[in-house]
Amino acid sequence: MFVYFDLDDTLLDHRHAERKALADLRDRYLALFGTLSVDELQAQYRAVSEPLWREYETGAIDKETLQERRFADLLAEMEAPHADPALVRRYYVQCYRRHWRLVPGAQAAYEAIAEHLPVGLMTNGFAEVQAEKLKEFPVLEERAETVVVCEENGALKPDPEAFRHATEQAGVEADEVLYVGDSYRTDVEGAQNAGWRVAWFTPDGPDDRSTDDCSFVFDDWDTLAERLTE
């Protein structure tokens, strides 16, 4: 069996870095965001950002449009059309990079699994950002047999072509791959449609979507490591 791992919100705590960066942004631009709590700002940001990501993943918009519109649309929602979204975005990105960290327990489990099974990484994130994350946490790339940054190959999860390419890179048949990821739409459904098995990471517990087709669902890394190394 070959085990692929998603990066953001699976091995790496993207949600934490996003929240901290938005808190920094709020403190920097109190005139724009000071009426919102950090929870409210993050909810507003995600309400703008997540639909744009879905458009990007389906090819409806390109990367540059996503990057530009995230903060332009957020500022429009905040009724601050005269603020410079490029400056706001630049400051957010600087702050976001300062707050990167691994999900608690992920590194130990990843390394333990890599001692028993071949592992790889597969991510939809922007190529240049993911490269910096891998430099920050070199053990992830050092232990990986292959790293698939979907943007570099022209197809993003959940596109079947992204999984076909990753299967080819792993050098195994599709039914020999287990994918560990947090997103139901891009990771669970995408992998299932490609004929992969899935371990769905749900740190907040699974929602009401079906888990019947998942190989298993887990909410802590010790559970995954024990299951794959026993």
Helix, strand and coil percent figures for the chain, each rounded to 5: 55, 15, 30
CB 197 within 8 A of CB 177: yes
Do 73 and 110 share a domain, yes or no? no
In contact, 213 and 198? CB cutoff 8 Å = yes
For residues 122 and 222, membership in a common domain is answered with: yes
Residues 214, 106 share a domain: yes
Looking at the fold, whether 40 and 145 belong to one and the same domain comes out as no
Quick one: 160 and 146 in the same domain?
A: yes
pLDDT at 209: 63
Last residue of a domain, one of 98, 116, 151: 98
Nearest to 96 by CA among 11, 32, 25: 25
| pLDDT at residue number 120 | 98
Domain shared by 141 and 128, yes or no: yes
Do 114 and 212 fall into the same domain?
yes
Task: Tell me what pLDDT residue 211 has.
Answer: 60
**Whether residues 82 and 111 fall in one domain:** no
The reply to whether 74 and 157 lie within a common domain is: no
Residues 190 and 147 in one domain: yes
| Strand residues in 2-155 grouped as ranges (E) | 2-5, 119-123, 146-149
pLDDT along the chain (230 residues), means of 10: 98 98 94 90 96 94 95 90 90 97 98 98 96 97 98 95 98 97 94 95 76 79 94
How many whole angstroms separate alpha carbon 230 and alpha carbon 227?
Answer: 6
Same domain, yes or no: 27 and 53 = yes
> Among the three residues 98, 125, 158, which one is the final residue of a domain in this structure?
98
Residue 54: CATH number of its domain: 1.10.150.240
For residue 136, give its domain range. 2-13+102-229
- CATH number of the domain residue 225 falls in: 3.40.50.1000
Residue ending a domain, choose from 98, 124, 154: 98
pLDDT digits 0-9 by tens, 72-86: 999 998 888 788 999
Number of domains in the chain: 2
pLDDT number for residue 25: 95
204 and 106 belong to one structural domain: yes
